[in-house]
Amino acid sequence: MGILSIRLPDIGEGIAEAELVEWMVAEGDTIREDAAMVAVMTDKATVEIPSPATGKVVWLGGEPGRTMAVGAELIRLEVDGPGNMKADAAEPAPAAAAPEPAPKDAPKAAPKPEPKPESVARPAPKAARAPASPRKEGEKPLASPSVRARAREAGADLRFLRGTGPAGRITHQDLDDWLSHGGPTGGPGRVQPDVSVEEIRVIGLRRKIAEKMALAKREIPHITIVEEVDMQALEDLRGRLNAEGGERLTVLPFLMKAIARAVKAQPALNAHFDGEAGVIRRYGGVHVGIATQTGTGLMVPVVRHVEAMGLREAAAELARVSAAAREGSATRDELSGSTITITSLGPLGAIATTPIINHPEVAIVGVNRMAVRPFWNGTAFEPRKMMNLSCSFDHRVIDGWDAAVFVQKLKSLLEAPAMIFVDG
Amino acid sequence: MTDLTCKLLILGAGPGGYVCAIRAGQLGVDTVIVDPEPPGGTCLNVGCIPSKALIHAAEEFHRLVEIAGGGSPLGITATAPAMDLSRAKDWKDGIVRRLNEGVSTLMKRAKVRHVTGRAVLRDGKSAVVQTAEGEIRIEAEAVVIATGSAPVEVPSLPFGGKVISSTGALALTEVPKTLAVVGGGYIGLELGTAFAKLGAKVTAVEAAGKILPQYDAELTRPVAARLEALGVRVLTGAKAEGLGEGGGLRVWTTDGHDEIDAEKVLVTVGRRPVTAGIGLENLGLEMDGSFIRVDGRCRASMRGVYAIGDVTGEPMLAHRAMAQGEMVAEIVAGQTRSWDRRVIPAVCFTDPEIVTVGLSPDQARAEGHEVLAASFPFQANGRAMTTGREDGFVRVVARKEDHLVLGLQAVGAGVSELSAAFALVLENAMVLEDVTGTIHAHPTQGEALHEACLRALGHALHI
């Protein structure tokens, strides 16, 4: 038997560190070769790292949420073979956050025996106690005499309190909380104020989203334009195309194509603005990011080179990358490199929104809900399928005029969809 | 006839009454307390205090007798110790007097008026007291009945002559050669053990199948073993039938009738509340058997009338009466109080002593709890070894689901002092981890509490 130490592998070009998102194994588990042992997250992609060998997990390199350097020790397995560490020297290294200079193919030198970190030395508290359950009927509330005396003074009946202490003991804090929430007016039939606070560590994708949103809002002075679009013609066209069979088309591929068309005339909108360097990068290719709700949070899979795609091609690629994002199998490439982004909440899309630009892009197109609305055609009201677009722009580099021109262009393209596809 | 008026009238200056009076006085309640006896009640005059003095004297003497018997492992020798019980009685009476005076002083300091005499209630607001100086009528806004309890007489063995109660036993000036104890409860065994140590040939007669019937067998086993070592003969399932022609005690056992030699017959078959002769019939209070029925604030069924202590039922313990007295004083003073105590510790000063707080394992199971129970023997306790007393143990009973401590019991020499720690654990609703997370001084018997709790969690260190 030997101990095999496994280090965080190089998971993509230019990636120096990754965040531990979830362990699929616990200490003591047996893991088979190639089974996923841990999920780590880089810039945006979540990657599952498979085990290179079959063995028993004896040490985990950190808690979820910890950022690890590539090459840092990730996990140790007890394996049948000789392993790459001496078993007796297999004292876990302290879970240091700083990356240790560990070459990828580390020599077989046993690491220095160092004091065990507490998280390893502590035996697992098996007697995990259930959270304070409601008292059985007729059971006296648990509280120290001083808490009881205070409750008496305050006119609080402890039978109506729920204790947060061990065994459901009512603490001074519980009494304070109860009293500060209207306390004595409570009766047995009254719904007790829920004063619980659940702490959730913002890690993984949620942390990335939070950082990204904060960055965008902090750096970019947004200007948002809301415009109404008559979608009747596009909807008629879409209906016909769908009637032809094939994969069902949504509005999004039309919009992607319209954007590709519009930015041809206004390349300033298909760009990244590096504020620090003071450089705008205008891209020839139109890489449309699609803000997508996934089980773990907001992701932006990217459809690359929309300018070179046909409508159905764009639709198929959109379906593929967004499915990959939802399943969590999207690669890093599929989740980065967009030059302009579409955000759509579909039927939840509201009348207007204020989209946040996908930094470092300079424009985002928000799609609002489509609905049949009365439209004045000059002589009468006519029921038409209408939809609003809410588009935000980086006002540092996009002037209001240019923004308005872009939105009008999108509007005219969508209202006369043939224009999207006709060249010249 | 003189008249007194006050806010609070207390009948009985025992532990319940005098604590009630002191607390009421502290709170500015104009209080009068009436008792025909010196203050302190049964506990101080003819109960807890003098019996503990006698038990101590007997233990000291017995130790010397054992040493004089030779072979003391401690290397001590002594020659023929002698006991002058009348001097021990004087010493004991001196302690009682000092405490009587102490209680009087405390009440005086709290501005409580103390009337010595027998009070008879006329109604819920007034009483007539016969004193040495004549009759006094007292009008009060609130009345507290704290008249306590008295030993129960066995019809076939009326007190008098050689048949004595615990009070009579404590007044003896000579050690009887033979002593029959009727009733194997804690009072009888405490005194019986003391007289056995003083040299009497003691026989204990208990009607139930075992001594100290209120305790489980695990707790009483060390006591039974010690009684045997002291030469006390224990008859269980036996019935005292009266005095025999030979001057002894006639008993019936499963083996038939027998007569036990008995210079004195100590009858300790229980205590009854003192509710007669105090004019209770003039109030027509609701009763609970022979006890006065009270609610959670010790209020009797008549407005402004309270009852505390032994007249309100079991457990008849001084510290229960004191806690009730304190509460009632505060209620009379206008505070919001009600009985919210979780536990009343109970101590049995046999040899070894027994202390119980909360539920025994069986009681806890009967209440439907899933139980973790563990005990730690004094054989594994360093302090116990150094005092030459390794008998007994500490036992903890906890609820399995959340480790809430439901009960603590101990048996062993001197374990009565553990009652404070036990009661704190229970009253503060501690869980096992609260106890195991507390450092217990070494070397002390208290370490056994720590270890018992560790053992309940499955990781005792010293066993």
The string of pLDDT tens digits covering residues A26-36 is 888 888 888 88
- CA-only gyration radius of chain B, Å: 24
Phi and psi of A314, rounded to 5°? -65, -40
Give yes or no for B334 touching A (CB within 8 A).
no
If DSSP codes are grouped into helix, strand and coil, which group holds residue A108? coil
pLDDT at A187 over 70: no
The token duo for A19 is: 């965040």
**Facing residue for B431 by CB, picked from A133, A155, A167:** A167
Lowest mean pLDDT among A1-5, A59-63, A146-150, B361-365: A1-5
Let me know if domain B163-269 sits in CATH 3.50.50.60: yes
* B275, pLDDT greater than 60: yes
Question: Does B403 contact A at CB distance below 8 Å?
Answer: yes
**Cβ contacts (< 8 Å) between B401 and chain A: which residues?**
129-130, 133
In chain B, residues with a C-beta closer than 8 Å to the C-beta of A169 are 429, 431
Q: Does the pLDDT at position B416 exceed 80?
A: yes
Q: How far is A185 from chain B (nearest CA, A)?
A: 18
DSSP class of residue A179 equals H
* Chain A residue numbers touching B433 (CB-CB < 8 A): 166
Residues of B in contact with A129 (CB under 8 A): 401-403
**Does the pLDDT at position B460 exceed 70?**
yes
> Nearest-CA distance from B20 to chain A in Å?
19
Contact B405, B387 (CB under 8 A): no
In sequence order, the β-bridge partners of residue B408 are B357, B396
CA distance B373 to A262: 79
> B371, B401, B431: which to substitute to probe chain A, counting the most A Cβ within 10 Å?
B431
Report the residue of A129, A174, A175 to disrupt the B interface, i.e. the one with the largest count of B CBs within 10 Å: A129
Answer yes or no: is pLDDT of A127 > 60. no
Is the Cβ pair B429, A152 closer than 8 Å?
A: no
| Confidence at residue B248, expressed as pLDDT on a 0 to 100 scale | 92
The C-alpha of B449 sits at a distance from chain A's nearest C-alpha, in angstroms, of 19
Q: Tell me the CA end-to-end span of chain A in Å, nearest whole number.
A: 73
Q: Comparing C-alpha atoms, which of B18, B8, B25 is closest to residue B40?
A: B18
Q: Which of B331, B344, B428 to mutate to test the interface with A (most CBs of A within 10 A)?
A: B428
Phi, psi (5° rounding) for residue A59? -160, 135
Question: Could you tell me if A127 lies within 8 Å of chain B, comparing CB atoms?
Answer: yes
Nearest Cα residue in chain A from B424: A144
- Relative to beta strand B2-11, strand B31-35 is parallel
H/E stretch holding A384 reads: strand A381-394
Residue B440: the pLDDT is: 96
**Chain B residues inside the 8 Å CB shell of A130:** 401-402
Residue B247 CB partners (closer than 8 Å, separation 6+): B162, B262
pLDDT at A346 over 80: no
- DSSP H helical ranges for B145-236: 166-170, 186-197, 217-229
CA angle in degrees (0–180, nearest 5) for A367-A368-A369: 130
- Nearest CB among A127, A140, A155 relative to B342 is that of A140
pLDDT on residue B191: 97
pLDDT higher than 60, residue A391: yes
Q: Given the structure tokens 């409750």, which residue do they identify?
A: A151
Show residues of chain A in contact with B429, CB under 8 Å: 142-144, 165, 167, 169
* Whole-angstrom distance, CA of residue B253 vs CA of residue B260: 12
State which H helix or E strand residue A237 sits in.
helix A232-243
Which residue intervals of chain B bear CATH 3.30.390.30?
352-456
A166 in reach of chain B (CB within 8 A): yes
Give the catalytic positions of B in this structure. 442
Pairing status of strand B163-164 against strand B264-267:
parallel
Within 8 A by CB and 6+ apart from B411, the residues are B219, B220, B222, B223, B352, B353, B354, B355, B391, B392, B393
B420 touches chain A (CB under 8 A): no
Tell me the H-state helices in B341-400. Answer: 361-366, 382-386
Q: Min CA distance, B411 vs chain A (Å)?
A: 27
The whole-angstrom separation of Cα A313 and Cα A303 is: 10
* B:107-146 residues touching chain A, CB 8 A cutoff: none
Inform me whether the C-beta atom of residue B390 falls under 8 Å from chain A C-beta atoms.
Answer: no
Model pLDDT, residue A44: 60
CB proximity B459 to A under 8 Å: no
Paired residues of B26 in beta bridges: none
8 Å CB contact of A129 and B429: no
DSSP A186: -
Nearest to A142 among B338, B429, B433 (CB): B429
Q: What is the mean pLDDT of chain A?
A: 82
Burial of residue A374 (CB within 10 Å: 0-12, 13-18, 19+) is exposed
Q: Residue B272 and residue A270: Cα distance in Å, rounded?
A: 99
- Rounded distance between C-alpha atoms, residue A160 and residue A164, angstroms: 13
Å from A303 to nearest chain B CA? 55
Least Cα separation, residue A166 to chain B (angstroms): 7
pLDDT tens digits, A87-96: 444 444 444 4
Contact list, A144 vs chain B (CB under 8 Å): 427-429
Q: How far apart are CA A386 and CA A230, in angstroms?
A: 5
Domain(s) of CATH 3.50.50.60: residues in chain B: 2-46+89-151+272-332, 163-269
The three-state DSSP-derived secondary structure of B40-54 is CHHHHHHCHHHHHHH
Q: What is the predicted pLDDT for the residue at A181? A: 77
Least confident interval from A104-113, A317-326, B331-340: A104-113
Q: Are B240 and B249 in contact (CB under 8 A)?
A: yes
Query: CB-CB: which of A130, A148, A167 is closest to B340?
Result: A148
Q: What percent of chain A has pLDDT over 90?
A: 41
Backbone angles phi, psi at A51, to 5 degrees: -80, 135
Place domain B2-46+89-151+272-332 in its CATH homologous superfamily: FAD/NAD(P)-binding domain (3.50.50.60)
CB atoms within 10 A of CB A303: 27
Calculate the CA dihedral of residues B222, B227, B233, B234 and round it to 10 degrees. Answer: -40
Residue B352 scores a pLDDT above 70: yes
What gap in Å lies between CA B156 and CA B103, rounded to an integer?
A: 38
Q: How does DSSP classify residue A65? A: T
- Report the pLDDT value the prediction gives residue A156, as an integer from 0 to 100: 84
Question: In chain A, what residues touch B342 (CB-CB under 8 Å)?
Answer: 140
Average pLDDT over residues B223-242: 95
Instruction: Return the half-sphere exposure (C-beta side, CA atoms, 13 A cut-off) of residue A400.
Output: 4
Query: Is residue B297 less than 8 Å (CB to CB) from chain A?
Result: no
Is cis: bond before A360, omega within 30 of 0? yes
Chain A: residue nearest B402 by CA? A167
Task: Find chain B residues with C-beta within 8 A of A148's C-beta.
Answer: 340
CA of B314, closest CA in chain A: separation in Å?
20
Token pair recorded at residue B398: 């906890």
- The answer to whether the peptide bond before residue A103 is cis (omega within 30 degrees of 0) is no
Question: Would you state the pLDDT for residue B369?
Answer: 94
CA A177 from centroid of its chain's CA atoms: 34
* H or E element that contains B16: helix B15-26
Indicate if the pLDDT at residue A109 is higher than 80: no
Distances (CA, A) of A113 to A63, A87, A100, A137, B440: 21, 11, 15, 55, 35
Q: Is A148 on the interface with B (CB under 8 A)?
A: yes
Quickly tell me which residue has 């950190």 as its tokens. Answer: A62
pLDDT in tens, B295-304: 999 999 999 9
Chain A residues with beta carbon closer than 8 angstroms to that of B402: 129-130, 132, 166-168
Is the CB of A129 less than 8 angstroms away from the CB of B428? no
Q: What is the pLDDT of residue A97?
A: 43
* B352-456 classified as CATH 3.30.390.30: yes
Relative to beta strand A2-7, strand A17-23 is: unpaired
Distance CA A239, CA A105 (A): 59
Q: Nearest CA to CA, how far is A190 from chain B (Å)? A: 24
Q: Do B401 and A129 touch (CB under 8 A)?
A: yes
Size of interface A-B (CB pairs under 8 A): 43
